[in-house]
């Protein structure tokens, strides 16, 4: 997508019409499409205006989305000839892919994962289940031994899973798979590629079947998933169906309480706050919703194929004063960067990774109020934030939460507080009063200019925050 913004995208679509829009979206091979989503919010409870749910620990969530990653396979190497066959007129699909490495080695995964873990970086890491039809991560990857594949999966389990959500990026990120046979359809053209037109007109059940197929491969490989990532324009014209299919398939395969998906990103002034959709049953035993988690940057690291050198300045400048990440963080919205794994590796030069290192270092120099989170953690927090009923009566704030959430943080419009405690069933948990904002954590409270901040692990069901 480069630096294409939502506004430029929609303006171009309006001018070019359906044919032009189709051609425009064809260029988004490795990216979530930046089109206005159709949001069906569902149920919403009442929340007392004197109690405001703020960011967890009153810090700004930040995260990193890694697309086009998988075990061993350099997706750009194997996808490029398939994209070129589909769009022979496109110069950007005539890259010299035969000169690129076919593998992104586990040694790079280890270096990346260890560097991030040392700095608390968290996010989402795709594992494409059948990358470009090369093989299957739960069976064999021709060109590599079975032991190499097993070791690669184990590395993801041990190193990445603690700090990264795992997503399928559909089945192949290229050819559409017949879920009955596990083989790609013999037909050719954009309508038989995941990135483009195959999803047009598909129903919830048809999409759920395809998502379930992709998720099951990762489950077979021992990789848990709470969400999915769409490749390119996948489901761009059936977004409501995609949201419902995500909810159904992720719950069916993994039993996830709060499924989420990544499809959209905005690089203009559009809000990037997560969108909690299809909420229902909030007062019952089986509440449900699905969360659309939204990116805020383009891939300014190394591009989807590792041929577009990026710069840290687009994220945050050397003087630490401007850049897209600065803008979003100062708005107190979740600041989620987006990249592609081949661009991070950059054909062995690691250019994208080096850009990322600089960005993270600059962010940590500039801000002391960041909270690195996985996408599933952001999704859970926003589900609790929007779907918890809140009432305020005298010295009691009552919560009716369909979903539990750690580090739930509220700002209460009150001035005189000498003590706080959270009451849940027969449990009473005192909150410690702190005076340093950097020490606000679960089980503490803090006086601010606008009232009192209280941070606690919100339990599912009813609880009461009592203060005196």
The tokens describing 348, both together, are 């062995």
181 contacts 139 by C-beta, under 8 angstroms:
no
What is the pLDDT at residue 463? 98
Which CATH superfamily hosts domain 59-380?
Glycoside hydrolase/deacetylase (3.20.20.370)
Q: How far apart, in whole angstroms, are the C-alpha atoms of residue 360 and residue 119? A: 9
φ, ψ for residue 380, nearest 5 deg: -65, -45
Confidence of residue 6 (pLDDT cuts 50, 70, 90): very low
pLDDT tens readout for residues 59-95: 999 999 999 999 999 999 999 999 999 999 999 999 9
What is the pLDDT at residue 4? 37
Check whether 5 has a pLDDT greater than 50.
no
pLDDT tens readout for residues 10-56: 333 333 333 333 333 333 433 444 455 678 999 999 999 999 999 99
Q: What is the mean pLDDT of the chain?
A: 92
What is the pLDDT at residue 16? 31
**Closest listed residue to residue 229, CA positions, set 371, 89, 336:** 336
Q: How far is CA 186 from CA 76, 81, 176, in A?
A: 22, 16, 9
Long-range contacts from 35-39, C-beta under 8 angstroms, 24+ separation: 35/6, 35/9, 35/10, 35/236, 35/239, 35/264, 36/6, 36/10, 37/239, 37/263, 37/264, 37/275, 37/292, 38/239, 38/240, 39/275, 39/277, 39/292
Confidence of residue 1 (pLDDT cuts 50, 70, 90): very low
φ, ψ for residue 236, nearest 5 deg: -65, -25
Q: How far apart, in whole angstroms, are the C-alpha atoms of residue 259 and residue 243? A: 9
Q: Which residues of 334-362 are buried (b: 16+ CB within 10 A; e: fewer)?
A: bbbbbbbbbbbbbbeebbbbbbbbbbbeb
Q: Where are the domains of the chain?
A: 59-380, 388-467
Q: How far apart, in whole angstroms, are the C-alpha atoms of residue 265 and residue 316? A: 18
Q: How far apart, in whole angstroms, are the C-alpha atoms of residue 79 and residue 134? A: 10
Q: How far apart, in whole angstroms, are the C-alpha atoms of residue 338 and residue 66? A: 6
pLDDT tens readout for residues 366-416: 999 999 999 999 999 999 999 999 999 999 999 999 999 999 999 999 988
Written as one string, the DSSP assignment of 276-325 is EEEEE-TTSSS-EEEEEEEE-----SSTTTT-S---GGGTS-TTSS-SHH
What sign does the dihedral 238-244-248-253 (CA atoms) show?
positive
| Kind of pairing between the strands at 451-458 and 405-412 | antiparallel
Check whether 7 has a pLDDT greater than 60.
no
What sign does the dihedral 45-331-371-109 (CA atoms) show?
positive
pLDDT tens readout for residues 255-312: 999 999 999 999 999 999 999 999 999 999 999 999 999 999 999 999 999 999 999 9
First vs last Cα of the chain: how many Å apart?
Answer: 53
pLDDT tens readout for residues 228-262: 999 999 999 999 999 999 999 999 999 999 999 99
3-state helix, strand, coil in the chain (%, to 5): 35, 25, 40
Helix (H, G, I), strand (E, B) or coil at 89: coil
Provide, rounded to the nearest whole percent, the portion of the chain with pLDDT above 70: 92
pTM across the whole model: 0.93
Q: How far apart, in whole angstroms, are the C-alpha atoms of residue 403 and residue 405? A: 7
φ, ψ for residue 156, nearest 5 deg: -65, -45
């Amino acid at each position: 997508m480069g630096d294409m913004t939502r506004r430029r995208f929609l303006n171009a679509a309006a001018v070019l019409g359906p044919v032009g829009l189709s051609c425009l979206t064809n260029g988004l091979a490795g990216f979530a499409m930046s089109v206005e989503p159709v949001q069906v919010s569902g149920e919403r409870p009442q929340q007392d205006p004197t109690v405001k749910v703020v960011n967890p620990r009153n810090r700004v969530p930040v995260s990193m989305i890694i697309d086009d990653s998988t075990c061993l396979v350099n997706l750009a190497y194997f996808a490029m000839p398939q994209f070129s066959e589909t769009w022979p007129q496109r110069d950007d699909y005539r890259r010299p892919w035969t000169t690129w490495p076919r593998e992104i080695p586990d040694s790079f995964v280890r270096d990346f994962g260890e560097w991030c873990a040392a700095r608390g970086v968290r996010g989402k890491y795709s594992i494409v289940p059948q990358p470009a039809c090369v093989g299957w991560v739960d069976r064999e990857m021709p060109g590599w031994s079975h032991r190499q594949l097993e070791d690669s999966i184990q590395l993801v389990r041990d190193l990445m899973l603690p700090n990264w959500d795992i997503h399928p990026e559909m089945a192949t990120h290229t050819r559409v798979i017949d879920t009955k046979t596990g083989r790609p359809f013999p037909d050719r053209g954009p309508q038989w590629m995941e990135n483009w037109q195959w999803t047009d007109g598909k129903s919830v059940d048809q999409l759920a079947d395809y998502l379930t197929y992709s998720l099951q491969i990762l489950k077979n490989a021992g990789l848990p998933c709470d969400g999915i990532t769409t490749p390119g324009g996948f489901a761009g014209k059936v977004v409501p169906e995609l949201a419902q299919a995500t909810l159904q398939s992720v719950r069916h395969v993994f039993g996830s309480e709060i499924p989420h998906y990544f499809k959209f990103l905005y690089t203009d002034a559009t809000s990037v706050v997560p969108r909690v959709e299809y909420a229902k049953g909030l007062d019952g035993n089986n509440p449900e919703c699905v969360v659309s988690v939204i990116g805020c940057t383009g891939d300014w690291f190394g591009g989807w194929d590792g041929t577009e050198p990026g710069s840290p300045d687009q994220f945050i400048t050397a003087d630490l004063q401007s850049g897209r990440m600065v803008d979003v963080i100062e708005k107190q919205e979740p600041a989620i960067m987006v990249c592609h794994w081949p661009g991070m590796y950059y054909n062995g030069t690691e250019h994208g990774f080096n850009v990322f290192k600089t960005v993270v270092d600059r962010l940590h120099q500039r801000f002391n109020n960041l909270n690195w989170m996985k996408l599933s953690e952001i999704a859970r927090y926003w589900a609790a934030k929007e779907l918890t009923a809140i009432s305020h009566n005298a010295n009691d704030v009552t919560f009716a939460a369909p979903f539990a959430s750690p580090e739930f943080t509220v700002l209460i419009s009150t001035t005189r507080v000498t003590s706080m405690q959270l009451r849940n069933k027969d449990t009473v948990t005192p909150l410690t009063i702190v005076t340093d904002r950097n020490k606000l954590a679960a089980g503490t409270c803090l006086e601010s200019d606008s009232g009192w901040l209280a941070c606690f692990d919100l339990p599912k069901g009813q609880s009461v925050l009592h203060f005196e």
